[in-house]
Amino acid sequence: MSTGPQIVTRVYDLVVHLLPYVSQFPRSHRCSIGTRVEQLAGALLEETITACYTKDRLHQLRQLNIRLEHLRYWLRMCKDLKLISLQRYEVTSRQVNDIGVQLGGWIKQQQGKPA
């Protein structure tokens, strides 16, 4: 199995994991921070799928890496504002880090290909 389908599955699992948390945010944060986390996670999934079907994917993968970093900081904010528990944050952070490692490997693989 190539890197693409594996990472799509991991990103999909992350999104499925995140959505119930966001729906439990207090109303005061659900429409602001919650919406932003949902949008970032959804875009991450869509762009990961797109990267699987893109011939020249290095640029797309670098953009994914940036989006993943954005999501990391928004999740950290959720933890700091106590919108998610420390335990949920740790589990989610592990998922995000695993995706980051896999994405980094995919980027290195693509950098090694001739132009």
Per-residue pLDDT for the chain (115 aa), expressed as one digit of tens each? 467 789 999 999 999 999 999 999 999 999 999 999 999 999 999 999 999 998 889 999 999 999 999 999 999 999 999 999 999 999 999 999 999 999 999 999 999 876 5
Structural domains in the chain? 3-111 (1.20.1440.60)
Alpha carbons 56 and 93: distance in angstroms, whole number: 29
Residue 33 near residue 75, CB atoms below 8 Å = no
pLDDT at 37: 96
pLDDT at 2: 63
Exposure string of 99-112, with b = 16+ CB inside 10 Å and e = fewer, is beebbeebbeebee
Query: Hey, how many other C-beta atoms are within 10 angstroms of the C-beta on 71?
Result: 22
